Amino acid sequence: GENVEQHPSTLSVQEGDSAVIKCTYSDSASNYFPWYKQELGKRPQLIIDIRSNVGEKKDQRIAVTLNKTAKHFSLHITETQPEDSAVYFCAASIKRFGNQFYFGTGTSLTVIP
């Protein structure tokens, strides 16, 4: 299967600052990279995703970048707000492995008001 590493495991930022979470993957055949946000006691929610034929995607304050050569992708949150506090998971998907997701270990983001 795929091996997805995620850093940092915890991240604290001041409200209004930016937050960056990075993930690396091992299999160059990975072709789809979603990011999920999970608030305490709730289900993971898809916040943004990117496919291997795209280098960057943005949705308001959230952006994801992909470097296929280096096999890493990053989540960028700008102008952070307290409601951004949650655990964020990256994932990678490989078609030949049935398209199932391999999740990173998660990043606990705290935005300090």
Partner 1 sequence: SAVISQKPSRDICQRGTSLTIQCQVDSQVTMMFWYRQQPGQSLTLIATANQGSEATYESGFVIDKFPISRPNLTFSTLTVSNMSPEDSSIYLCSGRNNEQFFGPGTRLTVL
43 vs 83, which CB is nearer to partner 1? 43
- Shortest CB 69 distance to partner 1, Å: 26
Cβ of residue 79: shortest distance to partner 1, in angstroms?
25
Amino acid found at 68: K
Segments of the chain assigned E as strands:
4-7, 10-14, 19-25, 32-38, 45-51, 56-59, 62-67, 72-77, 86-93, 101-103, 107-112
Minimum gap (Å) between residue 23 Cβ and partner 1 = 12
96 contacts partner 1 (rule: CB under 8 A): no
The answer to whether the bond into 82 is cis (omega within 30° of 0) is no
Q: What are phi and psi of 50, to 5 degrees?
A: -145, 145
Measured from the CB atom, is 26 or 99 closer to partner 1?
Answer: 99
Residues 28-47 that bind partner 1 (CB under 8 A): 34, 42-46
Q: Which of 7, 20, 27, 49 touches partner 1 (CB under 8 A)?
A: 49
Site for partner 1 in 1-20 (CB under 8 A): 1
Q: Cα–Cα distance between 78 and 102 in angstroms, integer?
A: 26
Which residues form the interface with partner 1 (CB under 8 A)? 1, 34, 42-46, 49, 89, 98-106
